[in-house]
Structure 1
């Protein structure tokens, strides 16, 4: 039986392929065994590949490339101690020593020991200063540790050699790296180059996001339309597309797009929040109320949704609804101090003066820099005859706005 026949058995799920493999290996040449190990590892049978390499290492103990390959696969299956022991036994003067350093760097990077990983890569680069794969490894490490501009500089060095690296999309790596560092203008031409090599929803979305960030909203929408044409379930594209329409003040189109997103993913609270805000812009308060409420239903502690609904109720002078919403939120175990000013004003309007007083006092600590709140509080205290407390609040107002004549005169009268 040939190796290709055995691989076909693996692909079709036959259970006796391992027996067939053992028979095949008894008569196979070393080169064939090595090829079989690579193909088995590619199919996910890494332990079997390691055993085959162990056999080859036994036959050819001087072949250090076999040891490197064996150690790399051991790292893949979590046999780190054995792998590192093998790698550390390979001498520095070996031709494969740069591969040893690269494998160790990958391991230390994977375990979060970035400084050690970088040291290994620097040592390997000194041995092979013109090796593009080592430069790419350095770029990947710098990118992973947030040094995006340094990573981009190294990618730029390798970029002229991209024809020698056909399996690596350097254009996309540069585009993503510049984007990660918020250098969206620099990312744009590389996104274009990458897309010219082949389109994919992720690429199109990232390009659309970069266009959005530089303020080219129409072009962003065009890219996001392509994303959704290729993959209607690419949920993030609905949100970003709606936001782009919103930036163009095309609010009806924005609302329609986010509503399409809600149809696809009805459990994303942010979609409902955006839909509610857009409905408000269009003067559709009932729809906005419904969307804000649905966002809160998904997450009773969703502060953005709660505050938007409270602001809407206050605008509509629906003070009882504000009080009820706060009660519902607290019933779900959340105490939201940001609601205190609205509860104070709502209870004031509902003539629940004792409760209004309690909430004004609770809100005061966090609202000392809010002139609008302080004015409301001061007038309430004056109405309630609490002149001493009113004086303290007005003094705080004057500390923020010393030139406010009205409040200066009022405090003089007090």
Structure 2
């Protein structure tokens, strides 16, 4: 017992040389119980290679001890020696007491390497052998949650709660229930569990954000804002809260308040392109086109391939008739973005304004496939074709336009005149 106390003191003082010396002594110590406790201590503090040396010494003495195989397999996995761990675990027979424990460890391993279905089969087998063990139900719930099977995970967490389990592996079961419901878009079901957490005193930022998000998704933006304001007072650098607070404000039609949240978020995280885009959009609602353009441009500066920001800025330039800026913007865009019909149409308008008629015709033609249900585009395309002397093409476009919108009296008259001329 004195040796394990010396080991504890050496670990606390960070004297690794003394730790190594003691481990060397313990490898040949006849007190196997003390050697095992020492190995467990070394694993707890992260000194896995030293723990493994002791497990190896113990297995030599007790080669059939299932628990030692489990413990050394855990050490092997921590050391990246997975093949050796799997060999040890496969050596544990189904009739051994430790077989269920080996299944849980195998499930954890297969989950970490992305083999979720294999992991689930292992933990399901363990559950069939020990259905009343909370640790197995919890492990299965965690696997289901990680695999996106949220409703099944929530059912198991609720079952654990019904059995009086409040916490497992340092995690509150109430929090897992709330997370599972929220992740599965069952936001209204998540609400009472978030409320219960907060009433119990769990007002950590993630809990407040989860509660706010579930209230927002349930159409309760004011309650969401209450939690978000509390969260931001607690942690002003919880960046995702600014976007959600702005969105909740928009749901309440409080555009000024939304812009305040977005701009404060940008002040704290100037590299958030989504906040820049959101601030630009709400600036347009508030009739602040210059501010909107600045936000859209900043979003593009952060990510030149940010398609939504380019479309937003291009739309603004087109509405303002700023065709020079529009053409510069589109000519600087990635080639694949110009395959988007709306951007191709904007490019056509800008090229037409710049009297680059050949290029404009190519852009109109490119945009046509995706814009042929848009009466405004068809009208502009028809006018362009007539100006270019492409009357036959223009007539075809106008016929499409009037079929879509018979109320276009100007174009209806044009077709009537055309028919008279042909007669």
Fold shared, TM-score > 0.5 on shorter chain: yes
- Distance in 1 (CA, whole Å) between partners of 2:279 and 2:99 is 58
Q: Which residue of 1 aligns with 2:179?
A: 176
Aligned pairs (5 A) from 1:10-29? 10-22=11-23, 25=26, 29=31
Q: Which range moves more in the overlay, 383-392 or 20-29? A: 20-29
Take 1:297 and 1:303, find their aligned partners in 2: how far apart are those partners?
A: 12
Structure 2 counterpart of 1:288, from 281, 286, 292: 292
Aligned-residue RMSD, C-alpha: 2.5
Structure 1 counterpart of 2:389, from 372, 379, 385: 385
The 8 Å contact of residues 71 and 86 in structure 1, kept in 2 or not, is answered as yes
Query: Tell me, what secondary structure is at the counterpart of 2:360?
Result: helix
Farther-moved stretch of structure 1 (359-368 vs 260-269):
359-368
Counterpart CA distance in 2 for 1:145 and 1:171 is: 20
- Single out whichever of 263-272 and 43-52 deviates more from structure 2: 43-52
Which residue is 1:394 aligned to? Answer: 398
> Is the alpha carbon distance of 1:19 and 1:80 closer, same or farther for their aligned partners in structure 2, counting shifts above 3 Å?
closer
1:72-119 per-residue CA deviation (whole Å, 9 max, x = no partner) reads: 232233222111111111121111111111112222222233332222
Range moving further from structure 2, 360-369 or 191-200? 191-200
Q: Normalization by structure 1: what TM-score?
A: 0.91
Counterpart in 2 of 1:33?
A: 35
Gaps of 5+ in 1: none
Partner Cα distance (1:217, 1:191) in 2: 15
**1:59 to 1:363, Cα distance in 2 relative to 1, 3 A:** same
Aligned length in residues: 412
Residues 349 and 51 of structure 1: CA distance in aligned 2, closer, same or farther (over 3 Å): same
**Residue 121 of structure 1: how far off its partner (Å):** 2.1
TM-score w.r.t. the length of structure 2 is 0.89
Q: How far 1:288 moved relative to its partner?
A: 1.3
| Residue aligning to 2:159 | 157
SS at match of 1:366: helix
Contact 1:162 1:170 in 2 (8 A): no
CA contact (8 A) 1:301 1:334 kept: no
Q: Supply the distance in 2 between the matched residues of 1:362 and 1:138 (Cα, whole angstroms).
A: 53
Of 9-18 and 293-302, more deviation after overlay is shown by 9-18
Q: 1:300 aligns with which of 293, 301, 304?
A: 304
- Do structure 1's residue 259 and structure 2's residue 263 form an aligned pair? yes
State the 1:134 CA deviation: 1.5
Question: In the superposition, relative to structure 1, how do residues 49 and 125 fare at CA in structure 2: closer, same or farther (>3 Å)?
Answer: same
Show the 5 A alignment for 1:61-72.
61-72=63-74
- What is the Cα deviation at residue 27 of structure 1? 5.5
Q: Secondary structure at the match of 1:129?
A: coil
The 5-angstrom pairing of residues 14-413 of structure 1 reads: 14-22=15-23, 25=26, 29-163=31-165, 165=167, 167-195=170-198, 196-329=200-333, 335-338=337-340, 339-398=343-402, 400=404, 407=411, 410-413=414-417
Instruction: Tell me which moved more, 334-343 or 3-12.
Output: 3-12
Contact 2:166-2:172 at 8 Å conserved across structures: no
Q: CA deviation at 1:390?
A: 0.9
Q: Distance in 1 between matches of 2:376 and 2:367?
A: 13
- Asked if the contact 2:307–2:337 (Cα under 8 Å) also holds between the matched residues in 1, the reply is no
Q: Distance in 2 between matches of 1:370 and 1:262?
A: 36
Closer, same or farther in 2 for the Cα pair 1:28/1:305, shift >3 Å? farther
Deviates more, 1:74-83 or 1:180-189: 74-83
**Structure 2: runs of 5+ lacking an equivalent:** 419-423
Question: Does 15-24 or 284-293 show the bigger shift?
Answer: 15-24
Contact 1:64 1:96 in 2 (8 A): yes
Q: Deviations over 1:31-73 (max 9, x none)?
A: 3332322232222222222221222222233421121121123
